[in-house]
Structure 1
Amino acid sequence: MAEPQNEVLSNIRQYAMDARELQDEQMDVDASDTETRLEQTLKQLQAQVQEQQAALEKLRASSQLNVYQAAYASQDPRERLKQLRAVKNAYTDLTPITPFLPKKDSVLPALLAARTLQQNVQGTKEAIASTQDQITKTESALRREEANLHDANLINKAMQDRIERLQAQQADRTQKTPAQLAKELIETKREQKRGYDNQMKRLDVAFHEFISEYLAPMLAAEELGGPVTGDMPEIEDEMLAAGFTAKGKAKSTKKPVPELKRQRTIDQIWGKKAVVDDEQLTEAEAADHEMRKLIEGLFATLMGPGGGKAYFELERDSAASRFLVRAKIAQFHPKDARKLRLIDFGRELDD
């Protein structure tokens, strides 16, 4: 048995040497010759397949054994032993047979090599795309982690600074008497109060400037039958003097409005609120004055005995009160629309 095996190995080595020599030679670029070689190789393969099929059919015809049953191990130990011996004999008989190898001029090795190379190239492309996607995801995760690390370092530094300040304050307090600590605490509270007062003054000035410059003309326009406050931001005094149509559009300002008619309209809407220090106010000034008085009344009610539960009595249904309700600054009494109060933002809104 050693001699057939040596012969097989010798054939394989010889074929490898011949294939290497063919690779070293110059490639034949003749298209017609390549096509002829392909046809020959195809015919050889078809002939080999037909030969194997004929041998298989001959084996099936000469054997009474069911091939499909023989493909699976039998449950009977004796039958299984026969199957194993048959498999062993088959391997023993087939081992000395020289394997089928293509001829020297066959293009089958080149085709197999081309297919393997194509598979390798496709796999490499897929691996590159997958690797690039993983790199992108990794870089994104790295940027997030770097941002988290930066935030953590900032928090850590802030905490360390806070601890150092507290330790310094604690050490400083241990060296002072209770009277000194009380005096410093009182001074700190006074400084905070002065800061709050200054901030309140700045906010009060900004609030009144907002009412005078932006809100008052829009409130006056709504009182005169114009658009709802906020729908028309730019409103001029001439538009307020001319008035608005029944559809809420500004009338033409080409013809001047008689002053007497204008003052009659102002008195009809705002009444006594349109006069301050014996001076007649314009539409925007009257709306400004009404809004200020309403805010003052609401704050006074809020700070009064009833606190956040007390309501301010309205003289009339005005654009100013409706605006405060729409802005979620105030709310009407659930049963009386002539009562209004500021919303306590520390609690939930009433139903």
Structure 2
Amino acid sequence: MAVDQEKVDKIRAFADRGRNLEKQYRENPLSLDAIQHYNRRLDDTIRSLQNHVKRQEDALRKQGLEISGQGTEPAQRLAQVRRVKKAYDSLLQAEPDLPSPNSPLPCLIALRETSRVIQENKASIASLRKSLPSSRQQLKDEQDDLEDAKRIHEGLRTRIQRIKREQSENATKSPSELADDFVNAERKRTRALKTSSSKLRNDLDQFIDDHLASQLAAEDLGGPVVGDIMEVPDSTLEAGYTPHGKPKKPKSTTAQDRDDDDPRQQRIDNLLRRQRGGDDDASNAAPRSKREAAAVAMHELINSLLESGTSYVELPRESAASRFLVRAKVAQLHPRNARKIRLIDFGRSFED
């Protein structure tokens, strides 16, 4: 809503005068005589207003403007109404009886109106402050919805164009060519799916070996639940946990034990074992630490679940691996047998 600049200037001038008056009042406070004089002016103004109201009432009463009740003749009532209308018309045409320039009444009215506007503005500001965060959040949500709608619209437009292009191309091909194209597309899609599945499986195995196995071993030993501590060293797993879930103090290790825990030494040992081959492969398959044992158990459980599909698998024992899969919403237990577990069929809704 546009505001007239002249009104803005008047408001600013009024505010400046008010500040100047306040400054003058602070510098030169009113004396007792000035306050009494101001009060006398107020009393005079009130008496003047009361006298004016009384004169108006007397004038109306002298003109006989009282309208009689029921039982009055219609002609008499019409005459009364006409006299009342004539009196009010004369009052409307007369000049208003305004207070004198020296009267404090205009200042009082202006102060009362200004105070009312200030209170309304304060209430409006408080209400706006309360609603501003929700309005900003609503604006952000609307902007996000708009961006999503734009992306969906662009994706649909691109897909429509692709479908139209494919339909125009397929219109010129024979049924055998269309069948060959369909078979080739399915083969390409199958190869891409196998490649992505293999990569995903390798990433999962690496995640289990590098990060998840130590946490699973710690939970199996009575330590923290998977996810509470990101890294658990092998020394803590070898020492174990107390009945309260606190890690025990690791035992003192010899120089040979420190060499065995050295990652560089472990890589050298693994390289030597791979070079030997033959009979050593069977002994190398056995886990050498609790972390590796937890990793092997997790790999075996995932392999058995993937091979069984949507069928339940019998668990040899309850372990941290099975509890982790259930908490992660990847697998679910049998409703009547907690020793059976299966993968959640994520793709059923899409296949249907």
Q: Normalized against structure 2, the TM-score is what?
A: 0.60
- SS of the counterpart of 1:277? helix
Letter in 2 for 1:171: S
Per-residue CA distance 1:278-332 (angstroms, 9 max, x = gap): 1342111111111111111122222xxxxx2x32122222222222223222223
Question: Which of the residues 234, 249, 252 maps onto 1:252?
Answer: 249
User: Considering only CA atoms, is the larger Rg found in Structure 1 or Structure 2?
Assistant: 1
Q: Does the CA contact (< 8 Å) of 2:239 and 2:250 recur in 1?
A: yes
Give 3-state SS (helix, strand or coil) of 1:331's partner.
strand
**Taking structure 1 as reference, are residues 149 and 77 closer, same or farther at Cα in structure 2, changes over 3 Å only?**
farther
Q: How far, CA to CA, are the matches of 1:213 and 1:169 in structure 2?
A: 46
Q: Is the 8 A contact 2:60 2:87 kept in 1?
A: no
Query: Which residue is 1:164 aligned to?
Result: 161
TM-score, reference length from structure 1: 0.60
1:42, 1:250 → 2: CA distance? 89
Match of 1:15 in 2: none
- For 1:220 and 1:46, locate their aligned partners in 2 and report how far apart those are by CA, in whole Å: 97
What is the aligned-residue identity percentage?
A: 35
In the TM superposition, residue 159 of structure 1 has moved relative to its aligned partner by 4.1
Q: Structure 1, residues 161-191: CA drift from partner, whole Å, max 9, x if none?
A: 4333322222211211222111111111111
- After superposition, the Cα gap between the structure-2 partners of 1:232 and 1:118, relative to the gap in structure 1 and judged at 3 Å, is closer
Partners of 2:108 and 2:244 lie apart in 1 by: 83
2:283 pairs with one of 278, 285, 289: 278
Q: SS state of the match for residue 169, structure 2?
A: helix
Deviations 1:118-161 (A, max 9, x none): 9599879989x99xx8xx9xx98999998877766665554444
Separation (CA, whole Å) in 1 of partners of 2:140 and 2:344 = 45
Q: Any unmatched runs of 5+ in structure 2?
A: 1-29, 258-279
| Unaligned segments of structure 1, at least 5 residues | 1-30, 260-274, 303-307
Q: Deviations over 1:181-220 (max 9, x none)?
A: 1111111111111111111111011100111011111122
How many residues align? The count is: 284
Most deviating of 311-320 and 288-297: 311-320
Change (3 A) 1:90 1:54: closer
1:107 to 94, 99, 102: 102
What amino acid is the match of 2:102? V
In the TM superposition, what is the alpha-carbon distance from 1:58 to its structure 2 partner?
Answer: 10
- In the aligned structure 1, how far is the partner of 2:226 from the partner of 2:139? 51
Secondary structure in 2 aligned to 1:337? coil
Measure how far apart 1:251 and its partner are: 1.0
Give SS of 1:278's match.
helix
- For the 8 Å contact 1:239–1:251, the answer to whether it is kept is yes
Give distance in 2, aligned partners of 1:334 and 1:255.
Answer: 47
- Partner amino acid, structure 1, of 2:334: H
Q: Decide whether aligned partners of structure 1 residues 83 and 188 sit closer, same or farther in structure 2, where only a CA change above 3 A counts.
A: same
- Mapped pair 1:76 → 2:72: yes
> What is the alpha-carbon distance in structure 2 between the residues aligned to residue 209 and residue 237 of structure 1?
17
Alpha-carbon separation, structure 1, partners of 2:188 and 2:91: 105
| SS of structure 2 residue aligned to 1:168 | helix
* Counterpart residue identity of residue 346, structure 2: F
Q: Residue 243 of structure 1 contacts residue 250 of structure 1 at CA under 8 Å; is this kept in 2?
A: yes
Indicate yes or no: 2:174 matched with 1:173: no
Name whichever of 146-155 and 228-237 sits farther off. Answer: 146-155
Tell me which moved more, 168-177 or 334-343. 334-343
Task: Measure the CA separation in 2 of the matches of 1:331 and 1:146.
Answer: 39
Q: C-alpha separation between the residues in 2 aligned to 1:169 and 1:95?
A: 84
AA matched with 2:306? F
Alpha-carbon contact 1:330-1:342 (below 8 Å) kept: yes
